[in-house]
Structure 1
Amino acid sequence: MKYDECLQVLSPARLNKYAQASGNEKAKTLRLYQYNIKLSQRFYGVIGMFEIMLRNAINAHYKQYFNDDNWIINQARPNGLLEQEASEIVRIQRTYTNMGVYNNDKMVASFTFGFWTYLFTRRNYRIGGKTLLQIFPNKAHGLKQTDIYKQLTAIREFRNRIAHHGSV
């Protein structure tokens, strides 16, 4: 595709940062944009696996901590860990129940990276018994809940930029 066609379909705003980086050389601008796409593809798979491992570790931890295989549903109550997400949790549970396929694994897979990240906010960390850092047995000494939350937020924001075809 020629530069002017790319500019029309992708938008000047999207290509502008690549044009600036290439000194407004059209061929180089397109190469940089294509390189960013390839780089994003490589990161997306790794981050996707990290997201799966994170949510599964959190799920296993809270199943044990709350001694409850259905902890997501049962914590979506007043003063519960997931009180603020209760309406969304109930909606998802009803959908799966009506389809006859409800189980905890489907619930776990239904929530976004943001949902799992927000379990590390001060409020949720406190209500969750201040135990969630146990899922990181090899974390650096002195790393606190706020540090983990900031790092997970940075990963989530990076993932979102990639998912929405922003620049890496």
Structure 2
Amino acid sequence: MEYLEFERILSAKRMQRYKDAANGETRKAMALYRYSLRLSQEMFTIVSCFEVALRNAIDGLLVTTFSWMGIDSRSMLYGLDHVQSVCTKINSLKE
């Protein structure tokens, strides 16, 4: 792909920082952008795994500490009352 098409698709403003880092060399700027994409993909994988682990830990704590049912068919029956009950328990711990 030619640089001008690359820049048109991604925007001149976005590509300017890569062009600056590449001392104006457009092929190097495109290579830097691709490298940045690969790095972002790797980081997103790590962040995604961390996010799932964090949600699971929070859910486990809510279940064991506050008898939280989570969001499933049972909780839909009790819904707001159960959420308010858990919030009340959490707030009482703050005091």
* TM-score in same-fold range (> 0.5): yes
Distance 1:68 1:79, change over 3 A: closer
The one-letter amino acid of 2:87's match is G
More helix by share: 2
Structure 2 gaps of 5+ residues are: none
Deviations 1:29-59 (A, max 9, x none): 0010000011111111111111000000000
Structure of higher RCO (CA pairs closer than 8 Å, 6+ residues apart): 1
Identity of aligned residues (%): 29
Partner of 2:15: 15
Rg bigger for which structure? Answer: 2
Distance 1:67 1:26, change over 3 A: same
Partner of 1:64: 64
User: What RMSD over aligned residues (CA atoms) do the two structures have, in Å?
Assistant: 2.6
Normalised by the length of structure 1, the TM-score is 0.45
Normalised by the length of structure 2, the TM-score is 0.75
Distance 1:129 1:55, change over 3 A: farther
How far apart are the structure 2 equivalents of 1:21 and 1:6? Answer: 17
Tell me the matched-pair count. 85
